[in-house]
Chain A
Amino acid sequence: MSSTKYILGLFDDPDVMMHGIDKLQKNSISIYDVYTPMPIHGIDAKLGVRESRLGYAAFMFGCLGGTVIFSIIYYFLVHDWPMNIGGKPYFAIPDFVPATFEWTVLFTAFGMSFTFFYATHLFPGRAPRVMDLRATDDRFVIAIDAKTNVPHEDITNILKEAGAVEVKHNTRKYVSYE
């Protein structure tokens, strides 16, 4: 049995790679993932990646931030230590606006960013699981799970026909710390 774990098609042009994806899909070969040095627009629809729901997370964190600071201000200025400043009302909402706005933004930014890190499994010190080191430089890499897609020779030929500059049969999933 072959020890190949992943078959990688390396392309030097994003358009050619997109055609490569079409060709693989036409031949019913499932694609594990695609690694690119830059965002490629339209690829997520092609690969059936669901739209990100980070916007909802951002909204919820924003609401939380606004509520937290508004409650703090209300407690400080209206409930705990009301100050009579020229007979003005204690519950002076316009004065609450700047800090409320700032914490809404602060919670949105941090909450959404941490959600992004959590959802994409990114955190400081995480070992980079790179299949090919040039995927962050100038190569557009289509990875195909070798175990579920056979025969390997056909996949190699399809990738080459599609314009892959190199086809690799990786026996290890990740190469970054070889």
Chain B
Amino acid sequence: MASHKESIIREPLVTGKDITYAKVTNDVLAPVENAPNKAWWIGFIVSVIGAGLWVVSVSWTFWFGIGSWGLNKTVGWAWDITGFVWWVGIGHAGTLISAILLLFRQNWRNSINRSAEAMTIFAVICAATYVVSHMGRPWLAYWPLPLPNQFVLGVNFNSPLVWDVFAISTYFSVSLVFWYIGLLPDIATIRDRASGLRRRIYSIASFGWTGSVKTWQRFETVSLILAGISTPLVLSVHTIVSMDFATSLEPGWHTTIFPPYFVAGAIFSGFAMVQTLLLVTRKVLGLENYITMFHIESMNKIILVTGSIVGVAYLTEFFIAYYSGGEYEQYTFLNRFTGPFWWAGCMMYGCNILMTQVMWFKKIRTNIAMAWVLSIIVNIGMWFERFVIIVTSLHRDFLPSSWSMFTPTWVDVSIFVGSIGLFFTLFLLFLRVLPSIAMAEVKLLLKSSSEQAKKKQIEEGHLDPEQVQYYKDSLIAYDTVDLKEYENA
């Protein structure tokens, strides 16, 4: 801790003056220790209604079978796999923030990793429910697991669907472990401030954390190794999900670009969902000093980069379809623009490529309202991407005699809308019982990357004036910085 001065030209990660270690705890734990406000209740009631819809529609599916969905002989996968891939993709940003950005020592992850990891867990739960419900006979969901069974049969490890089972279950459990170990110090903080029953509950959940030197040292080792193994894991999961399609012979699916393209798309949609959630959370919970413009802009930059990678993947797909000379492949891609689902194709390309390119402009990247709207546009676009890949490829197959259309039923729509309700219900409950910001990690930033630490450096007066001016200019976009305080500095 002896030297923790950071270059003045770097923008602050924690804004506001007089931020102390105690204030960080008080600010972050305010929603956990106090009664929820009106905004939380409104959000929670709406989400619970959504989750109720999910319960009804999934129960309906289990009772009547997947015949209640709009699937037919030709389009055997539609909204279910679209929803599954969409949710798994959303989950990826959490692991990316907690693992890859940790490995790259990106300190700005400290304020957003907790919520993003929680989002991962809830998104993968939503994805898993799709997998189980689309099996048709969910009580046999244990069949793809390598368990001894009465048929004396093992699972077929040549099948990408079995790889999927391994990938998703590993991803979920490793993410959960990573998230929970990271939570231990913060749960201990809540425990030591609580009393009565709450103290007992948080005491059990804190595993007896004390914050001794040895524990912290090992904690950091575990975090780093978990980050190291989660990094290839997060890339492998969506690669394997893409292999569900890529290893088939279906035109539109059978392409080698799928693994990197799916991974980029997953990070793209995941960051968009983190943005959607955190822009609201920071406002409603008053966490603007911790989730700052720098965080918002950084996430927008990642959305721009991954969105552009996705754009390149789209172009590559078209080029390869043309260059391969395969007429079925060429027809599939033409059909995406000229066939009956042309509107879905337009939504996909419009939302994901055209709309996100506006983020090249700093003014748009640092505009909160625009960032929020664009994040929702990306989420919509990415849902359509999966819909287009799945449904438009299937509905026009090799045999024109088997061509057919897909129309969702109310059950399809309700499961999807309901899963969003379930996701938000879980996320809002998380905000009430656990700290949404990793307090211990944010406290690490106070002496190096906070606005007050940088202001102190300026006041000490031995910095290059040009760099100080550069720093002040960078603060203009911040909605939480009072620039008047810098007039005489």
Whether B157 contacts A102 by the Cβ 8 Å rule is no
What is the number of residues of chain B that contact chain A, defined by CB distance less than 8 Å?
Answer: 66
| Segment touching B, from A2-10, A40-48, A152-160, A162-170 | A40-48
B215 touches A (CB below 8 Å): yes
Q: Which one, A38, A40, A120, A138, contacts B218 given CB within 8 A?
A: A120
Tell me whether A128 and B210 are in contact in the complex, defined as CB-CB below 8 angstroms, given that A72-B146, A81-B153, A122-B184 are known contacts.
yes
Q: A92-131 toward B: CB 8 Å interface, digit per residue (1/0)?
A: 1001101101110110111011001101111111111111
Which residues of A36-58 have CB atoms within 8 Å of chain B's CB atoms? 36-44, 47, 49, 52, 54-55, 58
Chain A residue numbers with a CB within 8 Å of B233 are: 102, 105
* Chain A, residue nearest B208 (CB): A126
Going nearest first, the 4 A-B pairs with the smallest beta carbon separation are: A126-B208, A76-B154, A138-B21, A98-B163
B248 touches A (CB below 8 Å): no
* Chain B, residue nearest A15 (CB): B1
**Chain A contact residues, CB within 8 Å of chain B:** 12, 14-15, 18, 33-44, 47, 49, 52, 54-55, 58, 62, 69, 72-73, 75-77, 80-81, 83, 85, 92, 95-96, 98-99, 101-103, 105-106, 108-110, 112-113, 116-117, 119-131, 133-138, 176
B461 touches A (CB below 8 Å): no
Bound CA–CA A15/B453 (angstroms): 14
**Chain B contact residues, CB within 8 Å of chain A:** 1-2, 20-22, 25, 146, 153-158, 160, 162-163, 166-167, 170, 173-174, 177-178, 181, 184-185, 188-189, 191-193, 203-222, 225-226, 229-230, 232-233, 236, 240, 243, 439-441, 443-444, 447
Whether A81 contacts B154 by the Cβ 8 Å rule is yes
Bound CA–CA A88/B218 (angstroms): 47
Whether A54 contacts B221 by the Cβ 8 Å rule is yes
Whether B154 contacts A39 by the Cβ 8 Å rule is no
Chain A residue numbers with a CB within 8 Å of B215 are: 120, 122
Please name 27 pairs of A and B residues whose Cβ atoms are closer than 8 Å in the assembled complex, sorted by A: A18-B2, A38-B440, A43-B1, A44-B214, A44-B217, A58-B225, A72-B146, A95-B158, A98-B240, A102-B163, A102-B166, A102-B233, A103-B170, A106-B173, A108-B229, A109-B177, A120-B218, A122-B215, A124-B205, A125-B204, A126-B208, A128-B203, A128-B206, A128-B210, A135-B211, A136-B189, A136-B192
Tell me what chain B mostly uses at the interface: helix, strand, loop, or mixed. helix
Whether A128 contacts B2 by the Cβ 8 Å rule is no
Whether A95 contacts B157 by the Cβ 8 Å rule is yes
Q: Which one, A42, A113, A121, A135, contacts B208 given CB within 8 A?
A: A121
Q: Which one, B158, B221, B240, contacts A77 given CB within 8 A?
A: B158
Whether A75 contacts B217 by the Cβ 8 Å rule is no
A54-B221, A105-B229, A112-B226 known, 15 other contacts, Cβ within 8 Å: A14-B1, A36-B211, A37-B21, A40-B213, A44-B213, A54-B225, A58-B225, A58-B229, A77-B154, A96-B157, A98-B236, A102-B170, A109-B173, A120-B219, A128-B188
Chain B residue numbers with a CB within 8 Å of A101 are: 232, 236
Chain B residue numbers with a CB within 8 Å of A72 are: 146, 154
